[in-house]
Structures are given as C-alpha cells and as structure tokens.
Amino acid sequence: MTAVEVDRGIVPVLREIVEPLGVSVVEADAMACDWSALLKSAPSWVLVANLPYNVATPLVLDLLEDVPAIARMVVMVQREAGDRLVAAPGDPGFGAVSVRVAYFATAALIGRVPAAVFLPRPNVESVLVEIERRGAPVVDASVASYQEIDLVLRAGFGGRRKMLRRSLAGLVDESVFEAAGIDGRSRAEELDVEKWGKLVACRRSIISGHPQS
C-alpha cells in the first residue's frame, strides 16, 4: 500500500502511524506525481481517495488517460462532481466529463455521504464513486482516438444548447452526420460515448477520403 499526501503537517503523523504497518507514505501532489515510478512495484492498483473539488475531475481523467496500472478507483467527491462522473445521456449531470470517463471505464455511485459527518459541516453533500477501467476503451482507438473524440467533444459541449450541426460547424461536415447515422439536429447531451465515437470515426474516414459504408 502506498499513501500519497500533499499536506506537510500531516505527513509526519501519517508516517508514524502507518509506516510500521508496511504502508509507504509519499509526500507529493497527486496532480504532479510521477505515477509510473510510484506504481512500478506492482502491475495493477486500486486507488482510494477523498478528492477535493478542484482536483477531483482533472485527476480522475488524467489517471484514466495516462496511468493504465490503476485498474479501479473508489473516490469520495462532492455530489456535483460525482454526478458528472457517472451520468448517462438524459441525466442532469451528463456532459463532456461523463463521455470521457465512459470512454475508459464504467462508473457508478456506490454511496452517499451526508454533510453531517464532517466537522466543520460543509454546505454540500459528498458521494462515493466507483470507477472500473475497461479492458479496452469502449471505442476502438484505431478508428477514433481519445484525442480526436476530445476535440469534437469540446466543440459540441461548448455550444451544448445548439444543434450539433451548428456547434460542430467547420469541424464536422454535414456528410459526416449522415454517414454516422446521427441527426445533425441533435444536441451534445443526447449522444453517448459510442455515438461520439461513431461520429469521430466517420469524420476521420471522410477526411482521409475513405468513407465508411
């Protein structure tokens, strides 16, 4: 077991309590860790963390994209962030973050943590989110890479109140919507990760001059 802690005031106490039990305590910022070096002692890891609001989403996405050794995460986050991580099309919290997580993993709420258990009591609720990495991304990277999907996602959700044919104008041609079987009048929050992947795959094939049938 390895514990990562950024608070210099807590690190000595943590080391005193848990290092005799075989836990390695690393003083570091999780957003700036050399994760490859940190996790080299085993091929597969589970990350368990209480994540502050400002780092929860970027850290989860960075780990999913760049640290395949982390096969599973159980994180406590503010409810708003948790809702976005697990949301599906049609859910109030569904957005680009939801699609990015779904590309790499399945995610589910596994518990709610009331504000009353904290001291001092915050003004928000927290939730426990379990994230299980897929054996392979849900979209085949050979036809639509994560970076390509992310590019189109940013544009689509940047104008989420617009129809996709408007928010993606100049990036996705009308012929791409037809080839992908997606109505250009749809809005970004209506497409799941598979449909975003299909849209990007058709965009790539049309740009390359080899339209998909």
Q: Which helix (H) or strand (E) holds 108?
A: strand 105-113
Taking the mean position of all CA atoms in its chain, how far away is CA 7?
Answer: 25
Q: Is residue 196 within 8 Å of 204, Cβ to Cβ?
A: no
Predicted local distance difference test score (pLDDT) of residue 213: 47
Predicted local distance difference test score (pLDDT) of residue 43: 94
* Tens of pLDDT, residues 79-102: 999 999 999 999 999 999 999 999
CA–CA distance, 118 with 179 (Å, rounded to integer) = 52
Q: What is the pTM of this model?
A: 0.92
Predicted local distance difference test score (pLDDT) of residue 208: 76
Determine the length of the chain.
213
